[in-house]
A = this chain, B = another copy of it.
Amino acid sequence: METRASAHSRLAADERRDQLIRKGVELLGSRAYDQMSISELARAAGISKGLLYHYFPTKSEFVVAVLKQSREELERRIAFDRTLEPVAALNASLDGFLGFVEEHAAGYQALARARSGDDELIRGELAEGRRRRVGGLVGFAAALAGAERDEITSPALEAVLSGWLAYSEELVVRWLSEGALERDDVRRLLRHALLAGLASVALVDRSEAAVRLAEAASS
């Protein structure tokens, strides 16, 4: 049986862990994690390096926990609102995305670089994030076409959505790093490219659902 003291200290440990992750998310907004040392992370969190290693045995594990938390926040901000018309929901989702990215500019740029980096744990978490975003966009495509997910899912649709995520990453990195584009410009370009991409699926997939999707995306 657990004593009150051990339950208490376990709770404290969980809280400390969460607090470290929150601190990491905050730090990730203002600088690239790959330019951050474990000592700096510990200092920023106000704990010793040894204690940080107690919670996260390797830097990768810490970064992955931070990325996961950050992804969950992103997913809340970009979730498609099912009470809205699909295109209004898309606009709201794009606004949520650009707002999130603006707040985590340095972190986002580092992620874009880390996507194909050497760290397998980090790459895995980023790939998982992309898979989940493709899944969310398949849901949007289904709503737009008035179809079931199963009817609409195809290799072409997934390729187009994954391609659009790469497209959006490139535009966002340019917007954040060069400032030559306004946020509203980026939103318009992303919206146009996504709808054009959805319409293009019917060029290679002649299913009824893909044709309906093309009609809805072009109107």
Contact = CB atoms under 8 A, between A and B. Distances in A.
Q: For this complex, into which size category does the number of interface residues on chain A fall?
A: 35 or more
Interface stretch (A91-99, A142-150, A196-204): A196-204
A167 B163 contact: yes
Contacts of A155: 174, 178, 180-181
Nearest to A197: B193
A45 interface: no
A118 B181 CA distance: 28
B192 A193 contact: no
Identify the interface centre among A118, A165, A170, A196: most chain B CB within 10 Å of its CB: A170
Interface stretch (A14-22, A75-83, A107-115): A107-115
24 contacts: A116-B117, A117-B118, A118-B118, A155-B180, A159-B175, A159-B181, A159-B189, A162-B170, A162-B174, A163-B167, A163-B168, A163-B189, A165-B170, A166-B166, A166-B167, A188-B200, A188-B203, A188-B204, A189-B200, A193-B193, A193-B196, A193-B197, A193-B200, A196-B197
